[in-house]
Chain A
Amino acid sequence: MEVQATYLERVRAGEWEALAARRDKARLRKNALSSALFGGVGAFTILLVFLLLAVIVYKGAPTISWEFLSQPPKEGMSAGGIWPMIRGSLLLMLGTFLLATPIGIFGGVCLAEYGERSRIMRLMHASVAALAGTPPIVYGLFGLAIFVLKFKLGVSLLSGWLTLTLFSLPVIVLTTESALKTVPSALIDGGLALGLSRWQTLWRIALPYAMPGIMTGVILSLGRAAGEATPVLFTASIYYSTAQLTLGWETLRQPVANLPYYLAEGYRQPGVVPDHLIWGACLTLIVLVLLMNAAAILIRTCARRRYL
């Protein structure tokens, strides 16, 4: 009876190479294909972003001048600068930063410390995550109903701060939480073994370690808030104010002009604000947001360098 040769016997020593060569060829083909696919789609995405930037720079750059940035509008908004809008946006951001940062960090600490154990905290986590994805107009309407009407704060800088704070909080809470979760447990062990209490370990070791990540989250979240028109649409915005540009307690109760609202409204009412002013404001807003993001990156790299 003839014994069937085993697979190993059939594939003689020299044939391994032939088998491998076939696989190699297939692998190379797949590599080339995936490089082309990922590279192509990636390049397309980056190109789109640059195209957007290029168009805005191309259209907006000629308008930018010191006068444009530092002067109020003139001649029924058909000429002049956009200083009140820049100032309003900066004011909105400053207050939001001061309110949202501490509250958001406390929220994130709370979730990171108690999040896994209790069911209520898990529910809270899910809710915060859902809030982070809630459309900004919802915050705008909430702000209108609660801060503007219920608390009678009116359409004002204060209402804008509160609404934008709510809007940026979920992202700050979530980034704080995830930054705290990246703290190596060996460091926590080290703190506890020194006899530090849980809170001392958190404040002295975990938070400083997580701070670059937290600040990145704060600034990115603020950058997002800076560009949104809808949260401030009904709560803080005024198209153009002829009020004196002075700062004082009364500023809190007054509405403020700001860049996103100016863009939305200026574009919606054709013929009033000339296109080149709109493009100029558009570029200004983008540069403002990019500067904030650059600050975030700078903070992160500096903090890393300090520790390593």
Chain B
Amino acid sequence: MMTAAVATPAKTAIRTEGLSVSYNGKPALKSVNIEFYENTVTALIGPSGCGKSTLLRALNRMNDRIPDAVTQGKVFVNGINIYDRGVNLTRLRREVGMVFQKPNPFPMTIFENVALGPRLHYGLRGRALEEVVEDALRKAALWDEVKDDLKKKSGLALSGGQQQRLCIARMLAVQPRILLMDEPCSALDPISTQKIEELIVELGKQYTVIVVTHNLQQAARISQYTGFLMYGELIEWGETRQLFERPQRQETEDYIRGRFG
């Protein structure tokens, strides 16, 4: 059983200020103020449609992809408001990596999947590139399983859990410092889920990790901080243990005790 120890937060990596998102005029996120700390895992929990994925996708501007999404408020990543004009999206997403609910490896070899980012961003080639790929795959706890057919096997030939770790490796190879994970285990079996959870705890020591999950036990297992959202509002956020054991708000208590959602 893993237990996530609560360390005193060092520095704020991301801070939102009155962050609101609406789709087609329908509010999905209402004036959220939250902070995410460095070298800490923060879980975002809440019932379906509560806005937790929207919040996550607002942090690396993936909502830009949705034509009718309107974002208001500010998101400071390392002190810079990413919604300011002239923000370089490539630079932002190099800093803030993302893993999706369903593993989405590219239709190319395992090596190419991981090498693509560092090659395009940093112009790495040859030995240097291979080192970065190996390092990323090791950090994603996938190296031993794939090292023999790195350049032969397609990323799509891996199992679901391996694919998700490949996607994590692909993200790490770009050298981000903030990792966003959108229900990274919800498409996986229990054993793969456990591996990813262990991995998240490990990554939380070096990265700012933000995980959306609908699994409360998972949030309790892997995170030091938790935010609870409902109807697009951030109801409560704080240390995970505190939030689970002594929630400040009635809604949080109801949700955690299974009376809602």
A interface residues (Cβ-Cβ under 8 A, vs B): 184, 186-197, 200, 204-205, 208-209, 306-308
In the complex, B87 has a CB within 8 A of chain A: no
In the complex, B241 has a CB within 8 A of chain A: no
Distance between A211 CB and nearest chain B CB, rounded to angstroms = 10
In the complex, B30 has a CB within 8 A of chain A: no
A195 CB contact (under 8 Å) in B100, B107, B121, B157: B121
Closest to A303 in B: B107
Additional A-B contact list (4), CB under 8 Å, known A187-B106, A193-B60, A193-B97: A190-B105, A190-B106, A195-B93, A195-B121
Q: Which 7 A-B pairs have the closest CB atoms?
A: A195-B93, A193-B98, A186-B104, A307-B107, A190-B104, A195-B94, A195-B90
Residues of A within 8 A of B100 (CB): 186, 189-190, 193
Q: Is the CB of A187 within 8 A of B116?
A: no
Distance between A184 CB and nearest chain B CB, rounded to angstroms = 7
Complex Cα distance A137/B89, Å?
50
Q: Is the CB of A209 within 8 A of B107?
A: yes
In the complex, B154 has a CB within 8 A of chain A: yes
Residues of A within 8 A of B154 (CB): 306-308
Query: DSSP majority for the A interface?
Result: helix
Residues of A within 8 A of B156 (CB): 307-308
In the complex, B82 has a CB within 8 A of chain A: no
Residues of B within 8 A of A194 (CB): 93, 97, 116-117, 170-171, 174
Residues of B within 8 A of A189 (CB): 62, 65, 100, 104
In the complex, B19 has a CB within 8 A of chain A: no
Distance between A198 CB and nearest chain B CB, rounded to angstroms = 9
Distance between A194 CB and nearest chain B CB, rounded to angstroms = 5
Distance between B210 CB and nearest chain A CB, rounded to angstroms = 14
In the complex, B178 has a CB within 8 A of chain A: no
Contact A192:B104 (CB < 8 A) given known A306-B154, A307-B156? no
A–B pairs, 14, beta carbons within 8 Å:
A187-B104, A190-B104, A190-B167, A190-B170, A191-B106, A192-B62, A193-B93, A194-B170, A195-B89, A195-B91, A204-B116, A208-B108, A307-B108, A308-B157
In the complex, B120 has a CB within 8 A of chain A: yes
Closest to A198 in B: B89
Distance between A94 CB and nearest chain B CB, rounded to angstroms = 30
Distance between A207 CB and nearest chain B CB, rounded to angstroms = 11
Contact A193:B62 (CB < 8 A) given known A186-B100, A204-B120, A307-B156? yes
Residues of B within 8 A of A192 (CB): 62, 65, 93
Complex Cα distance A188/B106, Å?
9
Q: Is the CB of A208 within 8 A of B107?
A: yes
Closest to A308 in B: B156
In the complex, B102 has a CB within 8 A of chain A: yes
Q: Is the CB of B90 within 8 A of A197?
A: yes
- Among A190, A192, A194, A307: residue with most chain B CB under 10 A: A194
Residues of B within 8 A of A208 (CB): 107-108
Complex Cα distance A195/B157, Å?
25
Residues of A within 8 A of B92 (CB): 195
Distance between B55 CB and nearest chain A CB, rounded to angstroms = 16
Complex Cα distance A184/B100, Å?
13
Closest to B62 in A: A193
Closest to B154 in A: A307
Distance between A206 CB and nearest chain B CB, rounded to angstroms = 10
Distance between A301 CB and nearest chain B CB, rounded to angstroms = 15
Complex Cα distance A113/B171, Å?
25
Complex Cα distance A186/B105, Å?
9
Q: Is the CB of A196 within 8 A of B120?
A: yes
